[in-house]
Amino acid sequence: MSNKKKEKKQNGAARFFDVLLALALCAGIGYGGYYVATHGTAVEQKDNYTANLPEETTEPPTEPQQIYDTVEISNQEIHEGNLILVNYELPFSGSEENLVSLYQVMLEKDCHSFGARDADVKVQRVYAEQLIALFDAFYNESFDNNIIVQSGYRSPQRQQELYDADLASTGLEESERVAKAGYSEHQTGLCVDLSLFEADYDGTGIYSYIDEHCADYGIILRYPENKTEVTRIAFEPWHYRYVGIPHAAYVRNNNICLEEYITLLYGYDYESEHLQIADQQNELYEIYYYPADTSGETTMLPVPADKEYSVSGNNRDGFIVTFDTGKQAEPQTDTIPEEETPAQEETDSVQETNS
């Protein structure tokens, strides 16, 4: 065979294989298009799609945290405020300014629901206004206006006179009824002693209304009968102290005295859980304790940035911050028993017989 014929035959075979290769490539591309059209895009894209889906969760959304600012406060303020504790071991060293005549405030408010001994009976203004509100409510309930405020603020000199007179009358070395000068709440302007026209005040009968409702006005019975070992003062049913809302509600509802309440607040410091208390309108308050910075003359005190708050010293070593959370407390519902026990049925029977 000649070389030309042999070359021609080889070229024809090469063209034949080129045609077969082209046909194979076309078949592969066509199948790939069919697969994409019927099965979607690549597996990697499918994984990316599922990764972008939101994750399912059963956890409730968290509430935004309270934001705090800091204010610089003088450490002398430890001895000022509605919650200062003054007793047999903690003398009063606060200011005696900002006192007002209770009688004058009564004139301003056109109040006739109770009386004041004279115009020299002085208290802190906030206490005067809350006393008037309490006794107005009592008068509207009972039509009785026989209560008299016998004393409020006392000077150290007057307190010492009363203390010496009590020792002389009892023969005791230390009085259980009158605090020493300097250690008396009467120097704060945050307490009063009550009496009645021509009688002593004992808080019984129609006057039990005062004990039942005084906490609604930020007032507590300062020296309860069952707390004499703590207060070191004998039961005084006539002695009422202003501490503010909602602290009075907690003292009343938990049957404690002021000493016990101030001690309890150490367990609710700024860094840990705060104490929450609801007032009579079910408004929720938050309270915490913050120790004074003893390295200097002032303390940088954290306070709520966007809430109304008040600060009181405890007259010992720190500050108590109280603020309205702006929330309502969760209502408490009474649980109704499914069926009565035999003891309940017997009680119901007695009540029906006596009615």
The whole-angstrom separation of Cα 84 and Cα 91 is: 10
Q: For this structure, is 352 an active site residue?
A: no
Would you mind telling me the total number of residues written for the chain in this entry?
Answer: 355
Phi, psi for residue 299 in degrees, rounded to 5: -130, 135
Write phi, then psi, for 324 (nearest 5 degrees): -80, 120
Sign of CA dihedral 299, 245, 159, 154: positive
Are β-strands 191-196 and 236-242 bridged in parallel, bridged antiparallel, or unpaired?
A: antiparallel
Separation of alpha carbons 210 and 345, rounded Å: 35
Alpha helices in the chain (DSSP H): 3-39, 43-51, 102-108, 125-142, 156-170, 208-213, 228-231, 247-253, 258-264, 342-354
Q: Is 33 exposed, middle or buried (0-12, 13-18, 19+ CB in 10 A)?
A: exposed
By DSSP bridging, strand 283-291 and strand 318-328 are antiparallel
Nearest to 287 by CA among 82, 62, 127, 76: 82
Residue in the block written with tokens 């006539």: 238
Which strands sit side by side in the sheet containing 283-291, from one edge to the other?
Answer: 275-278, 283-291, 318-328, 309-313
Given the residues 173, 236, 283, 345, the one annotated as active site:
236
Closest CA relative to residue 93, chosen from 77, 110, 116, 117:
77
Per the CB < 8 A criterion, the answer to whether 92 and 125 are in contact is no
Show which residues are catalytic. Answer: 236
